[in-house]
């Protein structure tokens, strides 16, 4: 019966996933190329805009014909110019596609508009920030006007803006771009990464260790698969596609083998992973649904402006661009992003994207490849959501009950920190997940004379070392948290013996070495971010110079008084005191009376104190009220909080400038939030009611406000978003409001 259930479940899930993919392919085959709405000479304007731009790789093929289309921008070779340009009037189809470029946010002085000719009423087409890249945005023209319309761009000359020939977009293409692309990206992420995770866990089950350790090692296997895929595509696209397909086939075969010949092991593993996987799915689908609901122009740049004025550059595009260029056969040594090298940033997310999409891209119809970036962004958001199962498994390893874990993770995930960083796919939250797993595993190391009830110290240290390595291979900011965890847990680590220390250290280093070799072989001196950390500038023009030597020279040239002053300014930024110390901070909407939710978003985005004050307050009250309780779970929460605090100190002491949240170690942010909410929920005092306050603030500032600010709201995605929120809140409610007669923080029996 177990074998039949396993086979049936796997078959149903695979059939659903493949059906969605085939539907997407069918829609792609029915697709018709957009139809141009005005002729190449159908424009009028002030002369501030010039044509001739040829950066059309991110648009439909029709724009590759310069004789039929026009791409205008207010860059004349001598700076930006103010003025406007408009199409001739035309009858609007239901959906209009418009190429846009530059900054169209309200504060930029630029606007891209559609105007009803009969009454002069104007509506914004997009609020995007694409920088020098072009994006093909879709705009619903239904109900805009009863007669002809025209489309144009207006600029006051402060920033770049571009506009191209509008086109009529078919219903099938609109469906594919707005709905099937994101759905396909998420489904493929669950299917491929999930298969690798379960297959890795099945392989590790032979070690006869606990389920938490098996699940952790399986998750680590997915990271190793991603690293392997980066190397394979760096050799050639054919090798990369073959490797991705072979690895996925091997993972599927391993799961199928388990269904037939290791049914009990597979059943135990899938039962254990069911809740962490469900938590991953709910978070990932909710974040993708929120981003797709907020339509300010759509496309791959949607996440950059979804939470205006919390906007950022195209950092979220870099992992996708690296994956796309490797998949397209661009030699790894030649991949750069302006002054940035591919080797300046770790590659783990790009590896995941190559594993998910690398084998599929050649099958996509060329006419829709401009929109594949949307699917990749959705897959990236799903990968960011891996912090949920990483935290869940780590907390289970610490023997925290599932109901408490659910309450902790729902409250933590329902914050602007997780919402923004889950949708905007710079790989910081992925690093936070692996780094958090490292901290939790180290916190579970047995003390002297207290053997582990689940696994040997060797297994725990190996998981910690490889998780820490994968965190560093996701984002370099994890460095602060990794060092802090080693310092805080040093007494426990050193008690485990020489052999576990040596083996785990070697495996951690071995996980990092392939990336070091890649850097040395393809792009040496990828040190811009390290130089910024230690010197305060990127130094693109002196990559050959010693970073350590320049750091020492900078400190010596300033003197101790100036150095201490910078550290004091760093402390002020961390606690949210206004300062000119970091010129990246623009305190938009700083008046609470004028725009309180906007101000809350900005402050929570930049300042650590705004991120942590509620969970730290809840945890502090709980500790003061229950000071006599000294459970094993309380000790784990103490280690999480201590690691976060130590990492803040290391960050301030070693980092040179701009101590804002997204320059910090994300596992430390997660650790401090989880520590606060963990203590509050374990003791079930009135302090846990701060959780609804935190959720309400996040819902107001990071969901409701951006939706009200959006040009359009996609109601289908909004329904999906509300469904995920209701599921999460329903899971939280019993711990928040229900009665519990069991011993708070009691150890639960291990599943094995």
Residue 133's domain is classified under what CATH number? 2.60.120.940
* Half-sphere exposure at residue 98, Cβ-oriented, CA atoms within 13 angstroms: 30
Taking each helix axis from N to C terminus, what angle separates 632-654 and 560-574, rounded to the nearest 10 degrees? 140
Q: Which residue from 73, 82, 77 is spatially nearest to 49, judged by alpha carbons? A: 73
Cα–Cα distance for residue pair 644/84, rounded to 1 Å: 51
Q: Tokens 């496309």 label which residue?
A: 299
Q: Do 545 and 552 touch, CB atoms closer than 8 A?
A: no
CA 534 to chain centre: 25
Cα–Cα distance for residue pair 600/461, rounded to 1 Å: 40
Which residues have CB under 8 Å from 261's CB, separation 6+? none
Residue 391: inside a domain = no
Cα–Cα distance for residue pair 376/360, rounded to 1 Å: 11
Residue 124: inside a domain = yes
Cα–Cα distance for residue pair 340/161, rounded to 1 Å: 23
Task: Check residue 360 and report its DSSP letter.
Answer: T
If you compute the radius of gyration of the chain from its CA atoms, what whole number of angstroms results?
Answer: 26
Q: Do 619 and 680 touch, CB atoms closer than 8 A?
A: yes
- Tokens representing 304 are 């950059």
Residue 663: inside a domain = no
At residue 586, what are phi and psi to the nearest 5 degrees? -115, 110
Q: Give 98's strand partners.
A: 137
Q: Which residue from 287, 638, 602, 226 is spatially nearest to 429, judged by alpha carbons? A: 287
Question: DSSP assignment of 371-432, as one string?
Answer: GHHHHHHHHHHHHHTTHHHHHHHHHHHTT--HHHHHHHHHHHHSSHHHHHHHHS-STHHHHH
Which residues have CB under 8 Å from 274's CB, separation 6+? none
Q: What is the pLDDT of residue 28?
A: 57
Task: Check residue 178 and report its DSSP letter.
Answer: I
Cα–Cα distance for residue pair 240/224, rounded to 1 Å: 15
Q: Do 683 and 634 touch, CB atoms closer than 8 A?
A: no
Residue 33: inside a domain = no
Cα–Cα distance for residue pair 6/385, rounded to 1 Å: 25
Q: What is the pLDDT of residue 15?
A: 60
Which residues have CB under 8 Å from 744's CB, separation 6+? 629, 682, 683, 684
Q: Is 55 exposed, middle or buried (0-12, 13-18, 19+ CB in 10 A)?
A: middle
Count of domains for the chain: 1
Q: Do 605 and 588 touch, CB atoms closer than 8 A?
A: no
The verdict on whether omega for the bond into residue 733 sits within 30 degrees of 0, i.e. cis, is no
Q: What is the pLDDT of residue 383?
A: 97
How many helices (DSSP H) and strands (DSSP E) are in the chain?
Answer: 28, 16
Helix (H) or strand (E) holding 647: helix 632-654
Residue 587: inside a domain = no
What count of other Cβ atoms lies within 10 Å of the Cβ of residue 667?
37
Structural domain of 135? 42-168
Residue 54: inside a domain = yes
Q: Do 103 and 158 touch, CB atoms closer than 8 A?
A: no
- Tokens representing 671 are 């650790």
Q: Do 660 and 585 touch, CB atoms closer than 8 A?
A: yes
Whole-Å CA distances, 38 to 48, 65, 89, 92, 310 = 20, 14, 8, 11, 36
Residue 125: inside a domain = yes
Q: What is the pLDDT of residue 589?
A: 41
Cα–Cα distance for residue pair 681/334, rounded to 1 Å: 51
Residue 730: inside a domain = no
Q: In the chain, which stretches have pLDDT less than 50?
A: 1-2, 448-453, 586-593, 741-752
Cα–Cα distance for residue pair 76/162, rounded to 1 Å: 12
Cα dihedral: 558, 564, 569, 574 (round 10):
130
Q: Do 379 and 189 touch, CB atoms closer than 8 A?
A: yes
Task: Check residue 495 and report its DSSP letter.
Answer: T
Taking each helix axis from N to C terminus, what angle separates 318-327 and 348-357, rounded to the nearest 10 degrees? 50
Helix (H) or strand (E) holding 98: strand 95-103
């Amino acid at each position: 019966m177990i074998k039949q259930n396993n086979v049936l479940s796997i078959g149903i899930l695979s059939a659903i996933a493949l059906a969605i993919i085939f539907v997407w392919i069918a829609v792609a085959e029915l697709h018709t190329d957009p139809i141009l709405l005005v002729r190449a000479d159908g424009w009028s304007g002030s002369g501030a805009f010039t044509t001739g731009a040829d950066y059309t790789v991110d648009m439909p093929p029709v724009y590759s014909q310069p004789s039929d289309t026009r791409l205008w921008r207010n860059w004349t070779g001598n700076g930006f110019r103010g003025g406007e340009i408009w199409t001739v009037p035309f009858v609007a189809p239901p959906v209009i596609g418009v190429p846009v470029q530059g900054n169209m946010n309200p504060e930029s002085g630029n606007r891209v508009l559609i105007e009803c000719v009969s009454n002069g009423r104007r509506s914004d087409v997009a609020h995007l920030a694409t920088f020098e890249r072009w994006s093909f945005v879709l705009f619903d023209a239904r109900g805009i006007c009863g007669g002809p319309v025209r489309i144009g761009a207006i600029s006051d000359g402060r920033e770049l803006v571009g506009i191209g020939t509008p086109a009529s977009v078919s219903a099938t293409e609109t469906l594919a771009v707005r709905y099937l692309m994101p759905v396909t990206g998420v489904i493929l992420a669950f299917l491929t990464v999930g298969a690798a995770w379960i297959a890795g866990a099945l392989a590790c089950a032979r070690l006869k260790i606990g389920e938490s350790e098996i699940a952790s090692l399986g998750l680590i296997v997915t990271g190793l698969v991603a690293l392997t895929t980066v190397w394979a595509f760096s050799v050639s696209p054919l090798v990369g596609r073959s490797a991705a397909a072979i690895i996925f086939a091997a993972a599927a075969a391993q799961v199928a083998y388990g269904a037939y010949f290791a049914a009990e092991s597979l059943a135990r593993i899938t039962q254990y992973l069911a809740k962490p996987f469900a938590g991953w799915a709910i978070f990932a689908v909710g974040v993708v649904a929120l981003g797709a609901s907020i339509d300010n122009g759509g496309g791959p740049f949607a996440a950059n402006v979804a939470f205006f004025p919390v906007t950022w550059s195209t950092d979220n595009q870099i992992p996708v661009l690296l994956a796309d260029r490797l998949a397209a056969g661009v030699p790894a040594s030649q991949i750069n992003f302006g002054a940035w090298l591919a080797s300046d940033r770790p590659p783990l997310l790009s590896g995941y994207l190559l594993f998910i999409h690398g084998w599929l891209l050649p099958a996509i119809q060329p006419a829709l490849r401009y929109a594949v970036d949307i699917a990749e962004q959705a897959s990236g958001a799903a990968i960011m959501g891996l912090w949920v199962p990483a935290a869940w498994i780590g907390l289970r390893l610490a023997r925290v009950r599932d109901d408490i874990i659910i309450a902790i993770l729902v409250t933590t995930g329902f914050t602007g920190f997780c919402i923004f960083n889950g949708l905007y796919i710079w790989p910081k939250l992925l690093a936070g997940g692996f780094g958090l797993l490292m901290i939790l595993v180290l916190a579970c190391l047995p003390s002297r004379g207290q053997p582990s009830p689940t696994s040997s110290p060797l297994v725990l240290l190996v998981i910690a070392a490889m998780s820490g390595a994968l965190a560093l291979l996701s984002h370099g900011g994890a460095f602060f948290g990794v060092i802090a965890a080693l310092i805080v847990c040093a007494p426990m680590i050193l008690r485990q013996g020489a052999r576990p220390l040596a083996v785990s250290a070697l495996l951690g280093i071995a996980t990092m070495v392939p990336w070091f070799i890649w850097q040395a072989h393809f792009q040496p001196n990828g040190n811009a971010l390290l130089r910024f950390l230690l010197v305060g500038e990127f130094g693109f023009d002196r990559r050959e110079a010693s970073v350590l030597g320049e750091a020492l020279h900078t400190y010596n040239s300033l003197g101790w008084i100036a150095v201490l002053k910078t550290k004091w300014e760093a402390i002020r930024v961390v606690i949210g005191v206004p300062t000119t110390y970091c010129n990246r901070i623009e305190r938009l909407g700083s008046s609470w009376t004028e725009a309180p939710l906007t101000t809350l978003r900005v402050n929570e985005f930049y300042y650590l104190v705004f991120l942590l004050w509620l969970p730290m307050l809840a945890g502090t009250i709980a500790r003061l009220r229950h000071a006599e309780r000294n459970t094993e779970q309380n000790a784990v929460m103490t280690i999480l909080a201590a690691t976060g605090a130590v990492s803040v100190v290391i960050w301030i002491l070693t980092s040179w400038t701009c101590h804002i949240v997204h320059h910090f170690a994300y596992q430390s942010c997660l650790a401090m939030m989880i520590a606060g909410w963990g203590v509050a929920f374990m003791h079930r005092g009135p302090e846990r009611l701060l959780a609804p306050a935190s959720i309400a603030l996040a819902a107001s500032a990071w969901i409701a406000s951006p939706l009200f600010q959006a040009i359009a709201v996609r109601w289908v995605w909004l329904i999906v978003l509300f469904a995920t929120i209701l599921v999460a809140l329903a899971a939280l409610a019993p711990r928040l409001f229900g009665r519990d007669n069991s011993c708070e923080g009691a150890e639960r029996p291990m599943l094995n």
